[in-house]
Amino acid sequence: MLNENIKNLRKLRHLSQVELAGQLHVSKQCVSNWENDNILPSVEMLVKIAKFFGVSTDVLLGLEGRNIVCVDGLTAEQTEHIKLLVEDLRAAQK
């Protein structure tokens, strides 16, 4: 999803891979590898890409609009029970 989001945002700005690479101070090959899902950008570069396009890192990663359950403070066993419950609920919807 990250690769598609980078590619789509680049195209929306009517930028070539070479132009985006120049803006981010990386090689064209780097941009190509991100878009082809060959490599992932570093965390620092992910932030830089998000800032360049004016979006959040959540948008780049495809996490925006997703429901997230916080399991902080729960044991590994409790967290696993919640995962199983979610899987059961998804299966019941089919």
pTM of the model: 0.71
Do the Cβ atoms of 20 and 9 come closer than 8 Å? no
Domains observed in the chain:
2-61 (1.10.260.40)
pLDDT in tens, 77-87: 999 999 999 99
Tell me the two tokens of residue 45: 């570069």
Contact (CB, 8 A) for 17 and 49: no
Q: For 33-53, write each residue's pLDDT tens digit.
A: 999 999 999 999 999 999 999
pLDDT at 66: 66
- pLDDT confidence bin for 64, thresholds 50/70/90: confident
Residue type for 93, please? Q
pLDDT at 88: 93
- Whether 60 contacts 1, CB under 8 Å: no
pLDDT higher than 80, residue 21: yes
